[in-house]
Amino acid sequence: MTKDPIRIAVIGQGFMGRAHSFGWARTRSLGHSGLQPELAVLCGRDRTALAQNAASYGFAGWSDRWEEVVRRSDVDLVDICTPGVSHAEIALAALAAGKHVLCEKPLANSLKEATRLAEAAEAAAARGVFAMVGFNYRRVPAIAAARQLIEQGRLGRLRHIRAMYLQDWLVDATSPMTWRMDASQAGSGALGDLASHAIDLVRFLSGEPITEVTGLLETFVAERPRASSATGQNAVAAPGRVTVDDACVLLARLGGGALVTLEATRMALGHKNGLTIEINGSEGSLRFDLERLNELEVYELRAPQEGFTRVLVTNPDSPYLAQWWPPGHILGWEHTFVHEFEDFLDAIAERRQPQPSFSDGLVTQAVLDAAARSAKTRSWIAIDQAGSQSTE
């Protein structure tokens, strides 16, 4: 079957840019989508690394100016993997130039920016130009299978959801400042970096809106060392002030009445990338751990048992698995990006809105902003699904 090419520009060559570049290369090699991705240009600020990375990742070329990239005639889709401070500017310019846009989470650094982006994406979709937010954990096969169980009513009425996203890479107080610890660049800390994933999964799995939230935020290390720009043997850089949260705890309620507890931190020793979620319903429960991402644990009243049953989600009839390996041959974190990109390309080819949309990103941003506000005011914040908030 002849496939139309779609030329990809990845903006950002750091950790996430590298992950996305790998995912696009694998998506191209599989060739299951109706569109064939071509790696057109890698964009970043470090010119020294750009040429080498572009060649290593398989791009035809590179640029250190995103403004030029979004206007190029040989680019059809712009994939934004930069710090949150630049998401809105790049995405708005790309949509205005008629490019499809994939933007890493969280969608923006503020509710105002996210609102502008959702409005711009809605207008672009009417012209056949589509945008999606990069919540890749929706594409874990076990998570997709969990959603199917819930949609089938196997858990009954949902009552409790507990979600935790725990990492430990900031426990050491001497770990240097990065953009992730600067609110002007990142917007928030563990709240936006980690809790945004958990919030999206709560909404995705339950199929229900988060209607109200209250939260606590904490910064355990207020200052961190930073590299000195001064010269000389005795030059010492002044410490950088951490302006984001190290940890957050949220309480929330779903539209159907279920209670939600959510915790995220980058300072929990022993946890490298521990995203766990447990859902309890009137007829059953399930739980998932990202550090064992091929597994789902299930308990159902209709099939009484002593405890949870471990289900290995690697069969060909499980979500996303038909294109991969025989049962028991497990997948990894990197496969979530391949699934994400294939879903995006399929939606573009079929001229339908991909999920999660920028409107979904706006709702997640509303929850993040409400959590931050409630931490300051010690109040509950009600959230409607257009992204606006009110204090109760």
Yes or no: say if 290 and 167 are a contact pair by the CB < 8 Å rule.
no
The pairing of beta strand 35-43 with beta strand 4-11: parallel
> Is the model's pLDDT at 245 over the cut of 70?
yes
The DSSP-derived string for 1-52 is ---EEEEEEEE--SHHHHHHHHHHHHHHHH--SSEEEEEEEEE-S-HHHHHH
Average per-residue pLDDT for the chain: 94
pLDDT at 348 over 60: yes
User: What's residue 159's pLDDT?
Assistant: 98
Higher pLDDT, 163 or 227: 163
Domain boundary assignment for the chain: 4-136, 141-292+294-331
Q: Which residue matches tokens 């993997």?
A: 81
Residue at token pair 């995103």: 66
- Residue among 186, 181, 191 at smallest CA distance from 223: 181
The DSSP symbol for 230 reads: -
Contact 176, 298 (CB under 8 A): no
Instruction: In whole angstroms, give the CA distance from residue 64 to residue 46.
Output: 7
Longest dimension (CA), the chain: 72
Burial 95-117 (b: 16+ CB within 10 A, else e): bebebbbbbbbbbbbbbebbbbb
Instruction: Summarize the confidence of residues 80-100 as an average pLDDT.
Output: 98
Q: Which tens digit of pLDDT belongs to each residue from 14-34? A: 999 999 999 999 998 887 778
Q: Is the peptide bond before 106 cis (omega within 30 degrees of 0)?
A: yes
- At position 212, the amino acid (one-letter code) is E
Is the pLDDT at 389 greater than 70? The verdict is: no
Q: How far apart are CA 136 and CA 150, in angstroms?
A: 20
Q: Give the separation between CA 222 and CA 177, rounded to whole angstroms.
A: 11
Cα(350)–Cα(346) distance, integer angstroms: 6
Nearest to 12 by CA among 69, 71, 79: 79
Over residues 268-297, the mean pLDDT reads 98
Q: Which CATH architecture has domain 4-136?
A: 3-Layer(aba) Sandwich (3.40)
* Phi, psi for 382 (deg, rounded to 5): -85, 145
Distance of CA 252 to the CA centre of its chain: 20
Query: CA 355, 198, 195, 139 torsion: positive or negative?
Result: negative
**Which pair of structure tokens corresponds to residue 106?**
């969280």
Of 111, 88, 87, 92, nearest in space to 384 by CA: 111
Residue whose C-alpha is closest to residue 9's, from 88, 103, 117: 103
- The SS3 call for residue 112 is helix
Of all helices (H) and strands (E), which one includes residue 385? none
Mean pLDDT across the stretch 245-274? Answer: 98
Q: Counting beta carbons within 10 angstroms of the beta carbon of residue 310, is it exposed (0 to 12), middle (13 to 18) or buried (19 or more)? A: exposed
Residues 6 or more apart in contact with residue 381 via CB below 8 angstroms? 212, 213, 214, 370, 371, 373, 374, 389, 390, 391, 392
- For 217, phi then psi, to 5°, come to -125, 145
Q: What would the two tokens of residue 176 be?
A: 């240097």
The pLDDT-based confidence of 392 (bands split at 50, 70, 90) is: very low
From 1-10, 217-226, 229-238, the region with the lowest mean pLDDT: 229-238
Of 11, 81, 74, nearest to 43 by C-alpha is 11
329 confidence band (pLDDT: 50, 70, 90): very high
Please tell me the CATH superfamily of domain 141-292+294-331, with its number.
Dihydrodipicolinate Reductase; domain 2 (3.30.360.10)
